[in-house]
Amino acid sequence: MCIQIAARTSRLLRRLLLSLSAPLLLGAWAPTAMAADVAWPGLKPVTLIVGYPAGGGADTVARLVADRLGKKYNQRFIVENRSGASGTIAATVVARAPADGYTLLASASSELTVVPTIRTSLQYDPAKDFEPVAVTSQTTYLLVSNLEFPANTLQELVAYAKKNPGKVSYGSYGQNTFTHLTGEYLQLLTGTKLLHVPYKGGGDLIPALLGNQIEISFNSPAEVLSQVQAGRMKALAVLSPQRLKEMPSLPTSAEAGYPDLTARGWNGLMAPKGTPTQVLDELNAAVNEIMRSEDVVRDLQARGIEPGGGTRQAARERIDNELQRWRDVVEKVGLQRID
């Protein structure tokens, strides 16, 4: 009888101790769980999704940023290419991704500021579905041609195209992209008619130009500077009021008589709407740190690319301003909006 009472008392004491210690255990665990929730990017690899093939301008900058972020945080930052549909496939994937900072869009300007001015059935809204982190780079575009094309300057291109309407083909990063509209705007300003040939991005376009499948294209220096310097293609003009420091002898479109023919692209880092402010601010600070690094500045400038950076608000304002600019171009060119 005494043994039974002792055993029952022991069980009651154990239950009492467990009930008293449970809140203490939970209290000790809770901060750890909360820390795990905000310990970005320590939980798992971060994926930067690019809407264009490997080798293009957006991909080049994305890989540089991913490499530096990986070293800074001792975590894997993976670049994933989801090319097609003028960058909108990648943008749609990121817009639908969890807003936890582990899926980011390494964007070009087309899917955020150009395609939305033409396409009416996009599955994302660039003004509402993304949190801008920062502009990662910006660049003035070049007008280039294959070696067999008879023109060597923008003026000669215009003269040749007027004599051969519809026979000069130009490649773009895809239907309704930044480079497509630049070609349409060139035709409007010069009174010429060109043949548009869309590709999935610079990585596909460059081989086509080198292989003489198209005559001309509009490309970032990061994509074509080495090819021009090696004598594998020709640069006809820089589409800017100022000459390019890396190619000081190359005339501008303004010098050729077309001051309104400018093409200035940019890349950025975007997160899904609702991503925690702490993560966005951390990423913005990291990107700015990367873009101030001397070796990064030197590497980008050698490719004809200006390092990015700046505030999240500045990135938002750039998107809003360029959306309006390309709406105006679409109206002037007379392109019909499509589904």
pLDDT digits (tens, 9 = 90+) for 26-55: 444 333 333 445 589 988 999 999 999 998
* CATH superfamily label, 46-138+264-333: Bordetella uptake gene, domain 1 (3.40.190.150)
186 in Cβ contact with 335 (< 8 Å): no
Q: Give the full edge-to-edge strand order of the sheet including 234-238.
A: 195-198, 169-172, 216-219, 142-145, 234-238
pLDDT band at 203 (very low <50, low <70, confident <90, very high): confident
Q: Where are the domains of the chain?
A: 46-138+264-333, 142-238
Distance CA 275, CA 130 (A): 9
- In this prediction, residue 43 carries a pLDDT of 80
258 contacts: CB under 8 Å, gap ≥ 6:
154, 186, 189, 190
| Gap between the Cα atoms of 194 and 333, Å rounded | 14
Biggest CA–CA distance in the chain, Å, is 115
**How many angstroms separate the CA atoms of 95 and 122, rounded?**
11
Instruction: Dump pLDDT digits (tens) for 59-86.
Output: 999 999 999 999 999 999 999 999 988 8
The fold adopted by the segment(s) 142-238 is: D-Maltodextrin-Binding Protein; domain 2 (3.40.190)
Return the pLDDT at 11. Answer: 53
pLDDT digits (tens, 9 = 90+) for 73-132: 999 999 999 998 889 999 999 999 999 999 999 999 999 999 999 999 999 999 999 999
- Give Cα 74 to chain centroid, integer Å: 23
Model pLDDT, residue 17: 42
Q: What's the whole-number mean pLDDT along residues 147-157?
A: 98
Tokens (6 digits) for 1 = 């009888």
Please report the pLDDT score of residue 101 as a whole number: 97
Q: Is the pLDDT of residue 268 over 80?
A: yes
| CA distance between the termini of the chain | 86
Q: Which of 141, 133, 336 is nearest to 224 (CA)?
A: 141
Q: pLDDT above 70 covers what percent of the chain? A: 89
For residue 221, whether the previous peptide bond is cis, meaning omega lies within 30 degrees of 0, is: no
Share of residues in the chain with pLDDT > 90 (%)? 76
Identify the three-state secondary structure at position 100. coil
Nearest by Cα to 82 from 110, 108, 53: 53
pLDDT in tens, 206-249: 999 999 999 999 998 988 999 999 999 999 999 999 999 889 99
Listing DSSP states for 134-184 in one string gives EEEEEEE-EEEE-TT-S--SHHHHHHHHHHSTTT-EEEESSTTSHHHHHHH
pLDDT of residue 15: 52
Does the global pTM surpass 0.85?
no
Q: How far is CA 212 from CA 144, 169, 201, 247, 277, in A?
A: 12, 10, 17, 23, 48
Residue 49 identity: I
Fold: same for 46-138+264-333 and 142-238: yes
Which has more pLDDT, 29 or 166? 166
